[in-house]
């Protein structure tokens, strides 16, 4: 996978004039889903600092019932709590996993930080077995850095 070309496409897209936060996030999610074959569901969860819940933001993929996730619950909630990227190569082995679809086999969740503080996260589900590599992590953390300016 040539993540450099995908990253460059995202960077150019974000340099477009007059992009508001919702359009920027949605556009990046669309690029990720379209350009990376093993990214089957791609979305952003944002922290509601008052309720301490994650709220589903822009996403691309099948609809999900999980529009609110408590911090600490599931992979997304654990990342919100730890402020660190988490890769689960086999969701059936994760005891704190929240199932969105029976098709999902793996998940990667990457925090978006503003001045080092967790504000949101990129959540990616894959229907492929063990698809995520260190390159995915590095790439998505760079994408999260780009998106941090919208918070």
Size of the chain, expressed as the number of residues it contains: 151
Angle between helices 134-147 and 21-35 in degrees, nearest 10: 160
Q: Please write the tens of the pLDDT for every residue from 43-78.
A: 999 999 899 999 999 999 999 989 999 999 999 999
Residue 22 is predicted with a pLDDT of 96
| Contact in structure between 118 and 80 (CB atoms under 8 Å) | yes
Look up the CATH number of domain 3-150: 3.30.450.40
| Contact in structure between 29 and 144 (CB atoms under 8 Å) | no
How many Cβ atoms sit within 10 Å of the Cβ of residue 92? 10
- Among 12-21, 24-33, 120-129, the range scoring the smallest mean pLDDT is 12-21
Residue 117 is predicted with a pLDDT of 95
- How is residue 116 annotated by DSSP? T
Map residue 92 onto helix, strand or coil: helix
- Which pair of structure tokens corresponds to residue 124? 């990616």
Residue 1 is predicted with a pLDDT of 80
| Contact in structure between 147 and 112 (CB atoms under 8 Å) | yes
Dihedral of alpha carbons 96, 100, 105, 109, sign? negative
Domain ranges of the chain: 3-150
pTM for the whole thing? Answer: 0.95
Residue 96 is predicted with a pLDDT of 67
Residue 97 has pLDDT above 90, yes or no: no
Share the mean pLDDT of the chain. Answer: 94
């Amino acid at each position: 996978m040539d993540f450099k070309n995908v990253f460059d496409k995202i960077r150019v897209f974000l340099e477009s004039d007059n992009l508001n936060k919702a359009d920027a996030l949605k556009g990046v999610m669309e690029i990720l889903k379209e350009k990376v074959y093993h990214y089957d569901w791609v979305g952003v969860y944002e922290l509601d600092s008052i309720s301490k819940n994650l709220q589903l933001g822009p996403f691309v993929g099948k609809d999900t019932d999980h529009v609110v996730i408590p911090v600490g619950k599931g992979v997304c909630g654990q990342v919100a709590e730890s402020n660190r990227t988490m890769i689960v190569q086999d969701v059936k082995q994760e005891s704190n996993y929240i199932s969105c679809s029976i098709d999902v086999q793996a998940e990667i969740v990457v925090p978006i930080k503003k001045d080092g503080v967790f504000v949101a996260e990129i959540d990616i589900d894959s229907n492929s077995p063990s698809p995520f590599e260190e390159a995915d992590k590095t790439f998505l953390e760079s994408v999260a850095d780009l998106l941090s300016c919208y918070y």
